[in-house]
Amino acid sequence: MTNNTKQDTLNIIPLGGLGEIGMNLMVYGYAGKYLIVDCGLTFPNDDTPGIDIIIPDTTFLAENRDDIVGFVLTHGHEDHIGALPHIWPDLEGPIYGTNMTLALLKGKFKEHDLLGRATMIPMKSREKFQLGPFNICPIQVTHSIVDASALAITTPLGTVIHTGDFKIDHTPIDNRPTDLHTFAQYGEKGVLALLSDSTNITRPGATTSEREITPVFEKLFPRADGLLIVATFSSNIQRIQQIISVAVAVGRKVVLNGRSMINNVRAAKDLGYLQIPPDTIVDIKKFSSYPRNKLVLISTGSQGEPNSSLVRIAAAEHKEVVVQSGDVVIFSSKFIPGNERTIWALINMLFRSGAEVIHEKNVPEIHVSGHAPQEDLKLMLALTRPQFFVPIHGEPRHLHRHKRLAIKMGVAKENTLVAENGDRIVLDGQTIEVVDQVHSGRVFVDGKGVGDVGDIVLRDRRYLSEDGMVVVVLVVEKSSGEVMQAPELLTRGVVYEDESQELLDEAKEAVEVALQVGPKAMDFREDEAAGVRELSQRALRRFFKKRLGRRPVVIPLVMEM
């Protein structure tokens, strides 16, 4: 890879988060040095069966690891910090973040036995620090997690504002509103480029304050004759504070459900972001010791994730908690696109148990987004008045629409640019352009394996889930390669064997014919067993494709005698 970073240019290289929601990773390059902003993951979908998480491909960074000056994190959501435990060991470098962000990250590093190796440095709003040629000023913003920051990144070429995820809530629960004053100050001095969150560009209007949810809770909580369950994201500390405050007001104790919920509440309480009266929290193991109508259960699992705590409760598989008639379940969260099917399945299970279920589709006021809608995005552009504009954090439809908004707000059309992951964007103070592509992509994490599952393995997994598997067992003479007995077939997910013996007999016959005819056209003398495997595999693939229109995974087992 040729190093295109020149002394008088700024390189901006997205390795994740552009053209997609999640997996955010932005690289800034100046004078041969690289600054990494965020390092997030994304979650698998139906096209990636069996995969646990997906992280950015950081081959480019590994090739330049000696020139990395450090990592700076905007906030503690998984799509901004979740990949670090997998990526950091190959790159290393100091990690900067706010107190809550680092508290969440330390938990992850501890799980990966990395905590003692990493240098984590707390950063505070408006307190500048230097990393190589980059002078960085964190700017306080509101989001659906406490302690979120935008970044003002200054080099001799100028200042770039990287918003991270943000919204403009003037009355947040933690009384830490978006620092509009500092954004305006940078706008007065001159902002070279603005890179701004595009997630909610399609939503008109301005942000609804998080405080507007408290009256909704006050109205809904008394509706529960029995247990009250509120499902929300474990990172949404302000929402959790509202739930706890209203629970105390109506005379209910609080039970925390889900490991991340317990860990995040503990961290937020220790850092002073949660105010919990004494004796409010009840250990879930003591759930049965209290009347159901005196408890509020705050739970993870609002997206219907398989094996999540709330799913186990709904399926009557939880050790401590069951749902009964008279209970009320509130989903104080968004239906994230792609999760609708699993969420509705969870809601249906809860209804079958006799519970009343409240969610954003029947009570829209039950959730407030953490991302800036159009009027907030306009205000960010108006305050910073950037010379150049690059939309980030969104799918192509979000990025292009945000670009059009920036042009309407006065940014010159030629000074706006929609980029893709892997683009090397170069700013020289006069122009902005994509000059080339660096290595980028996605790496699959499956169990303890990182990157060992590729497209071929995923293809086989899809075939297994869609068309099943056929195992053919063959016994051959070691010296001659002759097949000693008729092949045996074992199928899973292809046909019901007891009712398909005639079809399976034809499949065996197809294998026998292939083994009789095939060797005449192919030279397998050096490895007779390999030849038998390949011929039988081809024969069965052709047979099932022709007869059933299916493509099962075919596994030949050749035993040499």
d(C-alpha 197, C-alpha 194), whole Å: 10
Sign of torsion over alpha carbons 520, 525, 530, 533 = positive
H/E element holding 193? strand 193-197
The yes-or-no answer on residue 197 being catalytic is yes
Question: 10 to each of 18, 196, 342, 428, how far by Cα in Å?
Answer: 19, 17, 44, 6
353 is written with which tokens?
């148990």
SS (H, E, C) 341-354: HHHHHHHHHHHHCC
Neighbours of 108 (CB within 10 A): 19
29 is written with which tokens?
């390059």
Count of all residues that appear for the chain in the document = 561
Which one of the listed residues 197, 327, 376, 423 is annotated catalytic?
Answer: 197
Residue 520's identity, in one-letter code, is K
Which one of the listed residues 75, 86, 359, 371 is annotated catalytic?
Answer: 371
204 is written with which tokens?
């008109």
Q: Cα–chain-centroid distance for residue 560? A: 47
DSSP 8-state assignment for residue 307: T
For the CA atoms of 87, 89, 90, 93, the dihedral, rounded to the nearest 10 degrees, stands at: 100
SS (H, E, C) 94-154: CEEECHHHHHHHHHHHHHCCCCCCCCEEECCCCCCEEECCEEEEEEEEECCCCCEEEEEEE
The yes-or-no answer on residue 77 being catalytic is no
- Annotated active-site positions, please? 197, 371
